[in-house]
Structure 1
Amino acid sequence: MKYKSLYIIKNIVAALVVTMFFSCKNNFGDVQKVGVLQNQPVGEAENIDLKYTEYEDSVVKLLANLKSPNLLDYSNRPFKFTEFPEGIELIIYGDGNEETVILADYAVSYAETDIIDLQGNVIIATQDKDTLFTEQLYYNQQLEWVFTNNPFYFKRTTGFTKGNGFDSDKNFEKFQMHETGGDFELDN
């Protein structure tokens, strides 16, 4: 009887091992798909028209209007960011409803550093008719600071400045160039 029980247990164990062996399959493709899904945006939006407002003394005041054909939300990544792969148009309204218009072919906003990276045909046109042209521009939202290392052309009502790289406050009052002159092509 003892041998018969041992024989039955061995057969059960062998059957389980064979079943487990044949039930295992190569799921490397599934593992790769999980990695791809983690790299996909957690949210997408098309034809966005966001209005940033402020409510004060029973009055709603429009502060800014952001328009973009496409927004991709990567807040599922360790270093969270929002991407605008088809560009942006941002209108910022001043106290007297003056408008500053910001255009770029591509933009990305990093949540943790509060840095906005604008790329491709970047144009900033202020209410005072001052206009800045460059290929890449960074904006630090915390410090309200604008900077680039790329060539730029800055047309003001009093003349123009061109150079390579600058740092400035958001109103271009504390403007410091890195290099004067430089090559810059202005597309029509």
Structure 2
Amino acid sequence: MFLLFSCENSMKDIEKVANIQEEENVNISRDVTVVYSDSAVVKAELKSPELREYPDSVGFFEFQKGVVIRFFDANQNETQRIKSDYAIQRNNEGLTEFRKNVVVTMDNGSIIKSEEIFYDEKKQIYYNTVPITFDMKDGRGSFQATSFTSDLNFKLIKGENMTGYYVPTGENQLPSFGR
């Protein structure tokens, strides 16, 4: 009887172990700062409270707690900043997704806001398929669109169903908007 009871417990333990789902391999880093440079010149700096790397899957980095990326010119002046509450970089696809409260700030003070923005590394463009707002510095203009495509510097922005206003000041700081 004792032997049977002992075997029954062992079988239950084996059953429990057999039903445990295998966890996905993930490397977690906290308080991350990544500096991108070319020929010893800093081009960008990424900061995040947490970086998750999934080496066994399709090769991507996930920023569940948000990310801030600052871009610099040759003189180390900040040219733009992208901030979002969530991001995922899909290395194999060359695609980075910024989601939830995405804010792009340009060096001239203009701000782009959306719930998602994608960066296509191969095509060197930003784009999205949800509404976006572009507010110019000093309240000189505001534009809304149902989606957009832009170059890397947000100088040539093509919006769908774009509406808004612009108050000229003599400076030619207005990006080129197209259809």
TM-score normalised per structure 2: 0.76
- Indicate the residue corresponding to 1:6 in structure 2: none
The answer to whether residue 116 in structure 2 is matched with residue 136 in structure 1 is yes
Partner of residue 30 from structure 2, selected from 46, 66, 90: 46
Matches within 5 A, 1:1-188: 25=11, 27=14, 29-33=16-20, 35-37=21-23, 39-41=24-26, 43-55=27-39, 60-77=40-57, 79-99=58-78, 100-157=80-137, 159-181=141-163
**Distance across 1 between alignment mates of 2:136 and 2:18:** 56
Letter in 2 for 1:36: E
**Distance across 2 between alignment mates of 1:115 and 1:31:** 37
**Distance across 2 between alignment mates of 1:180 and 1:138:** 19
**Distance across 2 between alignment mates of 1:170 and 1:32:** 48
SS of match in other structure, 1:30: helix
Identity %: 20
Runs of at least 5 residues in structure 2 that lack an aligned partner in the other structure: 1-7, 165-179
Question: Contact between 2:84 and 2:102, CA under 8 Å: does it hold in 1?
Answer: yes
Structure with higher Rg: it is: 1
Residues 28 and 138 of structure 1, relative CA distance in 2, 3 Å threshold: farther
**Distance across 1 between alignment mates of 2:37 and 2:16:** 47
Runs of at least 5 residues in structure 1 that lack an aligned partner in the other structure: 1-21, 183-188
SS of match in other structure, 1:36: coil
Letter in 1 for 2:120: N
Q: Counting helix residues as a fraction of each chain, which structure ranks higher?
A: 1
The CA deviation at 1:156 is 2.3
Question: Contact between 2:110 and 2:135, CA under 8 Å: does it hold in 1?
Answer: yes
* Count of matched residue positions in the alignment of Structure 1 and Structure 2: 153
The CA deviation at 1:28 is 5.0
**Distance across 2 between alignment mates of 1:176 and 1:36:** 45
The CA deviation at 1:54 is 2.4
Question: Contact between 1:167 and 1:177, CA under 8 Å: does it hold in 2?
Answer: yes
Letter in 2 for 1:84: F
The CA deviation at 1:152 is 0.9
